[in-house]
Structure 1
Amino acid sequence: MAKDPYEALGVARGATEAEIRSAYRKLAKRYHPDMNPGDKAAEERFKEASAAHTLLSDTEKRARYDRGEIDASGQEQGFGGFGGGGARYGSSPFGGGGTAGGQGFGSGEDFSDIFSELFGRSRSSGGGGATRPMRGQDQSYRLRVDFLDAVRGATQRLTLPDGRSLEVKVPAGIEDGQTMRLKGQGGPGMNGGPAGDALIEIQVAPHKLFRREGRDIHVEVPVTLAEAVLGGKITVPTPSGDVTVNVPKHSDSGTRLRLRGKGVAARGSHAAGDQYVTLKLVAGTVDAELEAALREWADRHVAYDPRRDLVD
């Protein structure tokens, strides 16, 4: 049984001629076999939309359908396809069967006019269609990139659903959510037209140590009580490798150190970012000697309250 034409086009029963025409144009462009080679589901959807448009674009047939005199395929109701007046309108406008012309819009325009606009077909005086080159469709993909590869730049391979693979050169400093355009790597062109582009949305994986803000990199580094109080040199990781950093004497948990140029690499008009190292005080192994020293210190500094600002 043919599908209800209003449902097939996605319009209400009270839709205007312009709304019906617009709905059909969108569906025809999306599901046309030339745009979906080998896709049987798209072909069937295109045929449904074409049949629905054929019926609803004819004022008389639409009125008869609305009154229940004919069914969605144009058959007379109650005759089961036998008897007079039972021409079917369920065929594609490109094949034998139903007529392709619809006079309901008052313009005398038929399907060839619609496809001339949608797909670049120009009508000749003899009714035939000369085709012009058409650019292929852009195709969208997602590529998950390691955090450090996004910061430093890298080359990755993206395997496409059709089995092809693309070599994607990820530029240094690319951000999560940015889209790369690979010219000519999308859908194939038609009638000698150029291929479309591949649009690659980058998804940057989080890192267990580093966090990015703009072009700056942030990292939290643990230090011992002795390193914080007495100061000293420690090793700190950066995207470009480990570096030695001097911890100032009397540092505290939360002290932040700045490493110039150790953030996201410079690129184009963007200067290199910085890396910020936040110190995190850790107690580590506590023995009796440390306990005794701290107890003596605490007894001599009973007036010091680090939480005084928390009390109103």
Structure 2
Amino acid sequence: MADPYATLGVARGASEADIKKAYRKLAKELHPDRNRDNPKAAERFSQVTQAYDLLTDKDKRARFDRGEIDADGNPTSPFGFGGGAGGPGGGGFRSGGSQFDFGGGGDSGDLGDIFEGLFGFGGGRGQSSGGGFRSGYGNSGFGKRQQPKGANTAYRLSVPFEDAAALRPQRITLSDGKTIDLKLPAGVEDGTQMRLTGKGQPGPGGNGDGIVTIEIQPHKFYTRDGDNIRLDLPVTLKEAVLGGKVRVPTVDGAVMLTIPAGSSSGKILRLKERGFHKKGGGRGDQLVTLMLEIPANDAGLKQFVENWTGDIRNPRTGLGV
């Protein structure tokens, strides 16, 4: 994969918020559902997701910036090949066009001891019967490096609002046609990413991973407010004036809610622990806003109000009018 910063179009010093913003923009443009006739877009989408995955992992990003791993997350070299310390004035040496860095610039120690550790000088399996150095990878162990894994595969999973709040398992179909049930994490939100180890593309060092990005579907009457869920609940004039118990929907099923007598439209009632599951444990609440509904053409109600003299106050005095 190319440089992850270039892939996302951000500077090396970009903040996590800038990286997330760039990823969301590109993911929206390149999503396979919007580019069914463009296979290159799907490939680019996978690259963008892999770049995002690396740069939002603080440890991997730091190691990449130091040149310890490449854009695929694989070690650049078991001995620091390609570094600058073995150049002029450095503590390394060159052989066959590659640079071996032993941390020059300070006390380099005894290079003979280092070579002995690497190549087996001075006895053991790296020495022939005549005491000389025996070449070849099999005896010295030199040249061995970790094989790269396959590329990660990007998935997007659309989750119903109620399922996300209640953490109901979601079934996802992988690129190989197999399906698995995915357990959503507490604190899940739109854009949350989950890693499926070994569910990516095959490679010499094993399979890459599957990276699942969660998209929470909007709901027709619930809205999310942090870990809380908000609901506008229509009530009749009689229910607001006299109070009583009414059935209220929640993501876990309907419950009974007590409306206090004399409730005004806009009053907020709380159903505890009926919201989203929190990362640190527990759940948010469901906040129910009462919305008074008055019938449009009720002659009896109209006559009652016209003849009613019980309420002569001005409820707008607090607004200065």
From 282, 290, 315, the equivalent of 1:306 is: 315
In structure 2, the partner of 1:54 is none
RMSD of equivalent CA atoms = 3.4
Matches within 5 A, 1:60-75: none
Q: What whole-Å deviation, never above 9, does each CA across 1:5-45 have from its counterpart, x for those lacking one?
A: xxxxx9xxxxxxxxxxxxxxxxxxxxxxxxxxxxxx9xxxx
Alpha-carbon separation, structure 2, partners of 1:280 and 1:234: 13
Matches within 5 A, 1:14-53: none
Report if aligned partners of 1:220, 1:280 keep a CA contact under 8 Å in 2.
yes
Q: Does 1:170 align with 2:184?
A: yes
What amino acid maps onto 2:245 in structure 1? K
In structure 2, the partner of 1:236 is 248
* Alignment length (residue pairs): 195
Aligned residue for 2:164, secondary structure, equals: helix
What 5-or-longer segments of structure 2 have no aligned partner?
1-5, 7-39, 41-92, 100-134, 138-142
What 5-or-longer segments of structure 1 have no aligned partner?
1-9, 11-40, 42-106, 115-124
Offset at residue 163 of structure 1 (A): 4.2
Aligned residue for 2:287, secondary structure, equals: strand
Matches within 5 A, 1:159-198: 159-161=173-175, 163-190=177-204, 193-198=205-210
Change (3 A) 1:135 1:161: closer
In structure 1, the partner of 2:238 is 226
Q: Does 1:246 align with 2:251?
A: no
Q: What whole-Å deviation, never above 9, does each CA across 1:182-241 have from its counterpart, x for those lacking one?
A: 111122231xx2322211110100111211222211111001111111111111111111
Change (3 A) 1:301 1:168: closer
Aligned residue for 1:200, secondary structure, equals: strand
What amino acid maps onto 1:261 in structure 2? E
From 133, 138, 151, the equivalent of 2:165 is: 151
Report if aligned partners of 1:223, 1:280 keep a CA contact under 8 Å in 2.
yes
Report if aligned partners of 1:150, 1:172 keep a CA contact under 8 Å in 2.
no
Change (3 A) 1:159 1:113: farther
Q: Larger C-alpha radius of gyration, 1 or 2?
A: 1
Report if aligned partners of 1:152, 1:173 keep a CA contact under 8 Å in 2.
no
Change (3 A) 1:135 1:277: same
Report if aligned partners of 1:153, 1:173 keep a CA contact under 8 Å in 2.
no
In structure 2, the partner of 1:287 is 298
Change (3 A) 1:130 1:269: closer
Alpha-carbon separation, structure 2, partners of 1:205 and 1:268: 20
Alpha-carbon separation, structure 1, partners of 2:310 and 2:229: 41
Q: What whole-Å deviation, never above 9, does each CA across 1:52-96 have from its counterpart, x for those lacking one?
A: xxxxxxxxxxxxxxxxxxxxxxxxxxxxxxxxxxxxxxxxxxxxx
In structure 2, the partner of 1:67 is none
Offset at residue 148 of structure 1 (A): 0.9
Report if aligned partners of 2:186, 2:279 keep a CA contact under 8 Å in 1.
no
What amino acid maps onto 1:209 in structure 2? F
Q: State which drifts further: 152-161 or 175-184.
A: 152-161
Alpha-carbon separation, structure 2, partners of 1:108 and 1:173: 51
Offset at residue 244 of structure 1 (A): 0.8
Report if aligned partners of 2:152, 2:208 keep a CA contact under 8 Å in 1.
yes
Offset at residue 109 of structure 1 (A): 9.0
Aligned residue for 1:276, secondary structure, equals: strand
Aligned residue for 1:219, secondary structure, equals: strand
Report if aligned partners of 2:224, 2:230 keep a CA contact under 8 Å in 1.
yes
Alpha-carbon separation, structure 2, partners of 1:207 and 1:279: 19
From 267, 275, 295, the equivalent of 1:263 is: 275
Aligned residue for 1:154, secondary structure, equals: coil
Offset at residue 305 of structure 1 (A): 2.9
What's the TM-score, normalizing by structure 2?
0.52
In structure 2, the partner of 1:76 is none
From 148, 152, 158, the equivalent of 1:138 is: 152
